[in-house]
Amino acid sequence: IFHLFLHIRKKMRVLLFLIICQCAINSFKTHGASNPNVILLMADDLGIGDLGCYGNRTLRTPNIDRLAEEGVTLTQHIAASPLCTPSRAAFLTGRYPIRSGMAAFSRVGVFLFSASSGGLPSEEITFTKLLKQRGYATALIGKWHLGMNCESSNDFCHHPLSHGFDYFYGLTVTNFRDCKPGQGSVFLKGVQKTLVIPVQIAGITLVSLAIVQYIGLLKVPFQALSYCLLITAISFAVLIFFFYHFRHLNCFLMRDHQIIQQPLSYENLTQRLTKEAMQFIGRNSDAPFLLVLSYLHVHTALYASKNFRGKSKHGLYGDAVEEMDWSVGQILDMLKKYNLSDKTLVYFTSDQGAHVEEISSSGEVHGGYNGIYKGGKSTNWEGGIRVPGLLRWPGVIQAGAYIDEPTSNMDIFPTIVKLAEAQLPSDRVIDGHDLMPLLEGKVTRSKHEFLFHYCNAYLNAVRWHPGNSESVWKVFFFTPNFSPENSNGCYDSHVCFCHGGFITQHDPPLLFDLSRDPEEKVPLTPETESRFYEILRVIQLAVDNHTRSLHAVPDQLSWDNLLWKPWLQPCCSSLFQSCYCDYDSEGSLLGVHSE
């Protein structure tokens, strides 16, 4: 009996040891599946058809393709807006941009000037703020495009550091053609079209007043005439000064709150951004971190370094894509170096589809390829909003899987907030949904039954994916008028607009089934779709419910908030010195030289 007792006690010890080990393993797994590092890689104006993992056979993107091989490819990943500013606002907040006032009622739907007063409101809760509260180190490297100042040139009310980022290195606005000498101007054609009539009216009015004054038909007070001439002259002088100095005033590089290069230099720019990102990872390898690497590629002005220039089969645009892919590879190698690959969720996307109207002054195509999809940037045709969506987290999410369910860039907000074990805000509507059940294969259906597609502040289209059907219905209430008429974009105006004579209203709305017609070639009719009116009725009910959830908020993209305000102008020296400084030139970085 005594020996039997000893034998049982020994067995119990072994069993207890195994239980403790299993609990430790489960605890490790649970901990590993929460509080991961997060790296969010966002391209600018990249077409879904530009990547090998989405079918491109001529551009070389092995590092981005590696994310697809080792993770999940979302084939119906939708940007919340087809323009930079509202899309990025939605990405950071998990909410349609109309909810935060980041959707314009005017023609211009993005911020154009560093000295504008609009921006992402301080009341908005970004995923960065929530992760920072959970102890994450946070950094934004690259493009911001969500405003900077409100009332003075250094209040930084809209700056990245005011929205939860600990560290910022990049541009507060965006990369314009005007930022790079010899690349033309994004504004010139628009300014010429806008100003030609006012200039003619002002000129004719002043000359007429002077003539009637001279011949004595009408007595115009000399002082009033002088004031008119003075105001007109000053207005034109300010306008000429601004556009002549646009590059110095709007194209600059910041580190945190300090301007370190004004105007921006493209020398080694991708290498500098990549080095900053790698250094941030190195500094925070022992604690959870959130890194948003927001590339300037492939928004114009296009640029590429010497090691990539002229190497692709698609001109400077292809060179830029391949250089960005190199940068992604550097980031992935950095994770491997610090044994962080299995502890890091990596996400790659674009803020919207390719800008198909981008043609250089020499006729070279500077816009990307949206694959089979119609339209591009600034439109809610699939080419404007269907973007790459790649997620990798070895050992946690499926490798090599494809998910064809509707997902949104707004989904990143709840996904990473829950992974960081932070609380989702309960005082506002969050439009995104947690992606982890889909990514881990626990569910097969997206929670997005409806997605609402806005053109600026105007509801343009709605997508409906019924729970009991494979169909993805999409209705358009209006569509942009392409110019030339049978083209695939608005080449005459460089981008498509959202109201007035720039669009065609549809009553009844256009209806497509994307599961059968992803190219949106043939609208359905009551004759070709027996449920035509029933589908429209269900979608209209969803629109009514969605509209009731909206509340009036200040318009951050009103003309008052968009216009250049001299007193908000950031300048690292003085206006009289053309706002010039350069504290960031480092010559060769990482062995790559730029041209």
Burial of 198 (0-12, 13-18, 19+ CB in 10 A): exposed
Which of 53, 84, 179, 455 is catalytic? The answer is 84
What are the phi and psi torsion angles at 231 (to 5°)? -60, -45
Give the pLDDT confidence score for residue 31 in this predicted structure.
Answer: 40
Task: Tell me the C-alpha distance between 29 and 422, whole Å.
Answer: 19
Which of 3, 23, 53, 145 is catalytic? The answer is 145
Give the pLDDT confidence score for residue 225 in this predicted structure.
Answer: 62
Give the pLDDT confidence score for residue 587 in this predicted structure.
Answer: 42
Task: Tell me the C-alpha distance between 341 and 300, whole Å.
Answer: 32
404-428 pLDDT, tens digit each: 999 999 999 999 999 999 999 999 9
HEC readout, 131-191 = HHHCCCEEEEEEECCCCCCCCCCCCCCCCHHHHCCCEEEEECCCCCHHHCCCCCCCCHHHH
Give the pLDDT confidence score for residue 592 in this predicted structure.
Answer: 40
| Tokens of residue 459, six digits | 């509801």
Q: Are strands 503-513 and 473-480 parallel, antiparallel or unpaired?
A: antiparallel
Who's near 278: CB < 8 A, 6+ residues apart?
330, 331, 334
Task: Tell me the C-alpha distance between 63 and 55, whole Å.
Answer: 15
User: If we measure between CA atoms, which residue out of 230, 282, 237, 280 comes closest to residue 256?
Assistant: 280
Query: How many other C-beta atoms are found inside a 10 Å radius of the C-beta of residue 208?
Result: 11
Task: Tell me the C-alpha distance between 457 and 6, whole Å.
Answer: 77
Give the pLDDT confidence score for residue 27 in this predicted structure.
Answer: 42
- Residue with structure tokens 């005017």? 106
Give the pLDDT confidence score for residue 595 in this predicted structure.
Answer: 38
Domains recognised in the chain with CATH numbers: 37-175+251-445+555-568 (3.40.720.10), 186-244 (1.10.287.550)
220-269 pLDDT, tens digit each: 676 666 777 777 777 767 666 677 778 999 999 999 999 999 999 999 99
Ranges of residues in the chain with a pLDDT under 70 are 1-33, 188-200, 206, 209, 213, 218, 220, 222-225, 236, 238-241, 575-576, 585-595
Answer yes or no: 145 catalytic: yes
Instruction: Provide the total of helices (H) and of strands (E) in the chain, helices listed first.
Output: 14, 18
- H runs (alpha helix) in 386-522: 412-419, 436-439
Biggest CA-to-CA distance, the chain? 133
Task: Tell me the C-alpha distance between 160 and 124, whole Å.
Answer: 12
Answer yes or no: 84 catalytic: yes
